[in-house]
Amino acid sequence: MASYNPKNFFILAVDDNSINRILLDKLLKKEGYKTKILSRSEEVLFSLEEFKPDLILLDLMMPNIDGLELCEKIKQNPHYQEIPIIFITASDEKQDLLKAFDLGAVDYITKPFHNQELLARVKNHLELKFTRDELKKALVELEKLAKTDELTGISNRRHFTSLAEREFNLAKRQKRFFSLLILDIDYFKKINDTYGHPVGDYVIKSVAQECIQCLRKEDLCARWGGEEFIIFLSESNLEEALIVANRIRSHIENKVIIYESFKINLTVSIGVCVYHDDDKSIVQTISRVDTALYKAKNTGRNKVVSIDS
């Protein structure tokens, strides 16, 4: 996880007192923060999109739009809800402070503020936000890794099975249809034995990209294992699935894969099947398309075979 650095944070401050604005700007910049200091609360909402602050220092008592009203407007926007707001106030009115917390403020500082106290509170809430943001990034990355094949960058088997099962259940309930393709790189072991495993990995990645380029956005291609790929074609009948399968087969056959000084020609065998409404589970549909693939491999390779009539 990256370390906390004030230079990476932008603070937006709002105060109608010119002396306070000068003090805040000087204090925060000396610490290393990037700042924008505003004099009017009306400017804040327009400035949020431009500056995308990491924290807001907000004067509680201001003319026209007071701090409480402004805080409420900020927190109503989902894009800005996570920005910590610290109120700066000369008021000892507890009701105002309780209202500020109810509206989403994280802290308050009383005027005249002590420099080190203000910096400590700013740092504390920015560190909390920083840690929270880093954890969110880590969770997103972990989720991506859990769904993605490390070598090719496309979906992995587990993610495909999960989505295909969901689509299978939708097809059952809503009388929808779909097709499956499984393709296998012909004589892949010979490629590994002849050129080495780094070349074999490059070939697998190249085939994955060829498949993706032949599909629509709503389709899903995953690495099924080794040199096998599986493809889910949404709302596609057998005729449409065969067109896609033959397009993939033809593209790969006509592509020369260049790796350093090697020029490699490939072919693939592809099995095709369509969902049957009497299929008991997605496993049964996958088993049927797997049978079609083995027929393609056992009857000459470099061909598309459907198990359905």
> Is 227 designated active site?
yes
Q: Please, are residues 269 and 184 in contact by the beta-carbon 8 Å criterion?
A: yes
Q: Please, are residues 307 and 273 in contact by the beta-carbon 8 Å criterion?
A: yes
Residue 8 class from Cβ within 10 Å (0-12 exposed, 13-18 middle, 19+ buried)? middle
Q: How far is Cα 282 from Cα 286, in angstroms, rounded to an integer?
A: 6
What is the CB neighbour count within 10 angstroms for residue 100? 23
Q: How far is Cα 165 from Cα 167, in angstroms, rounded to an integer?
A: 5
Q: Please, are residues 213 and 250 in contact by the beta-carbon 8 Å criterion?
A: no
Closest to 41 (Cα-Cα) out of 66, 17, 21, 68: 66
Cis peptide before 112 (omega within 30 of 0): yes
Regarding beta strands 34-38 and 10-14, do their DSSP bridges make them parallel or antiparallel, or are they unpaired?
Answer: parallel
Q: How far is Cα 22 from Cα 13, in angstroms, rounded to an integer?
A: 11
Q: Which DSSP symbol is given to 308?
A: -
Q: How far does Cα 39 stand from its chain's mean position?
A: 38
Of 165, 227, 228, 253, the catalytic one is: 227
Regarding beta strands 178-185 and 228-234, do their DSSP bridges make them parallel or antiparallel, or are they unpaired?
Answer: antiparallel
Q: Count Cα neighbours of 142 within 13 Å in the Cβ-side half-sphere.
A: 6
Kindly list the catalytic residues. Answer: 227
